Amino acid sequence: MPAPRRRTPANPAPRRRAAAPAPVVGEIPIAGSKRPHPELGLGLWGQGRWKPEEEARTKAAIGRAYELGIRWFDTAEVYGSGRSERILGEVLHRAAGGPDAAFVVTKVSWEHLRPTQIRASLVNSLERLARRSVDLYLVHAPDPRVPLAETMPALEALWKEGRVGAIGVSNFSAEDLETAERHLGEAKIAVNQVRYNLLDRDEADPVRDACARRGILLEAYTPLARGLLNGRYLDGRAAPASVRRLADRVLEPDRWKEVVARARAIRDLAQEAGVPVPSLALHWLRHQGAAPVFGASRPDQVEQNLAAWAVRPPDDLLARADAAGRGDRA
């Protein structure tokens, strides 16, 4: 029996254009790890993103980041009270390369820095992530009530057992780093994750210098200054209360006028050069020796930031952005 003839639809669907090639994200060797650290990552902190009705959007953002070449995913046990880790684990297990292809970073809470608490926190994080180990395990922030003499050896023990690929810290000052290093034997502090961007650098600059002297990679969170370096809030509208509450110094009322003026100067510079504003913000951080980790709750935000990463501004343009971020008039 002959095969039936295929009918051609009256209005055939247009062919999809081939997707643009994903931008190249390089890698950086870090102390104590067999795996290099990606230059750019996706941070999974987000106020309110862990509500059930928003879960699909969050998963789509993670999946799109993986599809476009992001491999560094940053989470923590306190993000959504563990929901962030669980969502990340679910998405990575469905990804084409599998969970082991991703470079996963998670953090132990500042409330769990006693040795037994650290071990229990890691066990719980690994269960939520559905992994046997994580690539990098960070102290989320120091707790003045718990000596680093207790915390750091406990982290080192987990590293020796192979439960974590490397150890690091977050929100540590230069003095905290010096103290933490004194209480390690064979292990090294691989990274220190701090708030750092073109508009908010006064506290991070000394930490960056201390990390550089010690061979510690600086991870930079809020690289786009809560959206200011993506063009938000530059048209006279104030940031919403939910953002101001969590934006630290960048959006404080007494600094708002000055910070917006600097952000507008950076935007104008980007427009003059024909590059996206986030290109200046992200590559300025890499020029400082830092690895930026950006936040995104929607796939289109991931796409925009990766498109910006694909544009590498020349060094002289980054120097002008540096001056604009400092408020220099020249």
The CA-based dihedral angle spanning residues 166, 172, 173, 177, taken in that order and rounded to the nearest 10 degrees: -30
C-alpha atoms less than 13 angstroms from C-alpha of 1 in its C-beta half-sphere: 1
Q: What is the pLDDT of residue 290?
A: 98
Q: How far apart are CA 2 and CA 135, in angstroms?
A: 58
Asked whether residue 267 is assigned to any structural domain, the reply reads no
Asked whether residue 55 is assigned to any structural domain, the reply reads yes
Asked whether residue 254 is assigned to any structural domain, the reply reads no
Asked whether residue 11 is assigned to any structural domain, the reply reads no
Q: Which two tokens stand for residue 87?
A: 């969502």
Q: Is the pTM of this model over 0.95?
A: no
Q: How far apart are CA 41 and CA 291, in angstroms?
A: 8
- Which range of 43-47, 93-97, 191-195 scores highest in mean pLDDT? It is 191-195
Asked whether residue 144 is assigned to any structural domain, the reply reads yes
Q: What is the pLDDT of residue 329?
A: 59
- Which range of 11-15, 148-152, 199-203 scores highest in mean pLDDT? It is 148-152
Domain count, the chain: 1
Radius of gyration (C-alpha) of the chain in whole angstroms: 21
Asked whether residue 6 is assigned to any structural domain, the reply reads no
For the cut 70, the answer to whether the pLDDT of residue 47 exceeds it is no
- Which range of 6-20, 69-83, 249-263 scores highest in mean pLDDT? It is 69-83
Asked whether residue 16 is assigned to any structural domain, the reply reads no
* 193-249 pLDDT per residue, tens: 999 999 999 999 999 999 999 999 999 999 999 899 998 878 766 666 655 555 566
Asked whether residue 10 is assigned to any structural domain, the reply reads no
CATH number at residue 197: 3.20.20.100
Interval 185-200 mean pLDDT: 97
User: In which region does residue 130 sit, left (phi positive, over 0), alpha (psi from -120 to 50) or beta (all else)?
Assistant: left
Nearest to 114 by CA among 84, 89, 75, 150: 150
* 249-273 pLDDT per residue, tens: 666 677 888 999 999 999 999 999 9
Domain of 94?
27-230+276-314
The single-letter code of the amino acid at 91 is V
Q: How far apart are CA 106 and CA 144, in angstroms?
A: 21
